[in-house]
Structure formats: structure tokens, C-alpha cells
Amino acid sequence: MIIHQKTIHLEKPIQIIDHRLEGDKEIFTHAQDVLPVMAEAKESRDNFDKSFKLDRFAWPVAKVPALIFKQFMDQSGGSFDEKAFNRWLESDYGRPFKAS
């Protein structure tokens, strides 16, 4: 996912690697390669123009794999909390996904 100010776009495809039935539940296991997303975020950070004006409509904030973003949303109670997301981006786990 690419996070632009308040816009979210799916970034890399998610692959289903397992599908099974357990009783009345259908279980899907997904996988996503996060290394290319981390490399793109690092490239964006390294090339970020420091004179960029923050009064624009949107700017790249983070590039986060969809599965990791889903995990963040699940831990946040299912709703997007911008302040919590910004704190997450400053954490050791979230920092590699910062794009600016």
C-alpha cells in the first residue's frame, strides 16, 4: 500500500499459499514479499526533496505491504487512527516503510 496523506492504494499482490477447511471455518493463509516494498520506501526516503511543500494535496508518507497494514488495522480495532499510524511509522517495525 502507498499511503498518501489520507489516501491508501494497494501496492503489491497478495498470494494465497494455503486454503483449508476446519470444521465450519474456511482458512486462507496469505503471503506477500515485503522486501521490494521496503526497498521502494527506502528509495523514496533517500530521494525525498527536503524543499517539498507540505501544503500540497497529497505526498508519499509510507509504502506498507497490504498484509502488514491489515495487521496494523486489526491491532487498531479495525479503524484507521492517523496518530497511531504515525507512532507506528516511528517504531522500529514501521520505520522501514516510511517513504518521506
Name the phi and psi angles at 5, rounded to 5.
35, -85
Q: Are strands 2-4 and 60-63 parallel, antiparallel or unpaired?
A: antiparallel
Using the predicted structure, report yes or no on whether residue 9 has a pLDDT greater than 60: no
Cβ burial, residue 98 (10 Å; 0-12/13-18/19+): buried
Q: What is the pLDDT of residues 16-57, one digit of tens each?
A: 777 888 899 888 787 777 788 788 888 887 887 766 666 665
Domain range list for the chain = 2-51+59-97
Pull the grid cell for residue 57.
494535496
pTM: 0.60
The amino acid that residue 36 corresponds to is P
- Specify the residue for cell string 527506502: 42
Pull the grid cell for residue 41.
520506501
Cβ burial, residue 25 (10 Å; 0-12/13-18/19+): exposed
Name the phi and psi angles at 99, rounded to 5.
-110, -10
Give the pLDDT confidence score for residue 41 in this predicted structure: 81
CA–CA gap between residue 46 and residue 49 (Å, rounded): 9
